[in-house]
């Protein structure tokens, strides 16, 4: 059930401001700077609800805590194995992958998330 509360809006606004695919702990630390009365449990519960309501997207990455994305449209991700940064990846031909999986295997695909692992351009310069 979607309830617009002050805490929920603060959490969503902070998620949008960070734009880094933060884990709950990172988001909580940022919120705590200006809203110390909001608990980590409240942040966690609201993030899960925002994802369930389609206002945020939960990312489950290998060897990482669950992270949250402000973008809810279909896109994929790249994780740098050096700096740990997570970046949005928009590749047009991957948009048809759900239908290809359905046709080939008969699965009903609700969504997919491809995660590329490697070195980001910034770390590649070092």
pTM, two decimal places: 0.83
pLDDT at 1 over 90: no
Looking up residue 88, the CATH number of its domain turns out to be: 3.30.1490.190
Domain count along the chain: 2
Among residues 23, 42, 69, the one where a domain terminates is 69
What integer pLDDT is reported at residue 3 of this predicted model?
A: 65
d(CA 8, CA 23): 16
Judged by DSSP in three states, 109 sits in coil
pLDDT at 95 over 80: no
The two tokens of residue 38 are 């909001």
Q: Does the residue 1 lie in any domain?
A: no
* Domain match, 63 and 89 both: no
What integer pLDDT is reported at residue 110 of this predicted model?
A: 84
Domain that holds residue 90: 76-125
d(CA 13, CA 17): 6
* Domain match, 19 and 47 both: yes
- 57-59 vs 67-69, strand pairing mode: antiparallel
Mean pLDDT of 98-104: 92
* Domain match, 59 and 82 both: no
Q: What angle do CA 41, 10, 65 make, to 5 degrees?
A: 45
82: DSSP letter? T
Residues linked to residue 78 through DSSP beta bridges, in sequence order: 87, 116
What integer pLDDT is reported at residue 13 of this predicted model?
A: 95
Looking up residue 58, the CATH number of its domain turns out to be: 1.10.10.10
Question: Residues 69-91: pLDDT tens digits?
Answer: 999 988 899 999 999 999 999 98
* Domain match, 58 and 103 both: no
């Amino acid at each position: 059930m979607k309830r617009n509360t002050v805490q929920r809006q603060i959490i969503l606004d902070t998620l949008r401001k960070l734009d880094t695919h933060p884990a709950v702990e990172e988001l909580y630390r940022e919120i705590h700077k200006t809203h110390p009365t909001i608990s980590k449990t409240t942040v966690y519960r609201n993030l899960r609800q925002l994802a369930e309501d389609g206002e945020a997207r939960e990312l489950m990455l290998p060897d990482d805590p669950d992270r949250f994305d402000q973008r809810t449209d279909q896109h994929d991700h790249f994780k740098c194995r050096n700096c740990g940064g997570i970046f949005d990846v928009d590749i047009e031909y991957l948009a048809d992958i759900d239908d290809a999986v359905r046709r080939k295997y008969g699965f009903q695909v609700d969504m997919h998330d491809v995660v590329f692992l490697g070195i980001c351009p910034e770390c590649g310069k070092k």
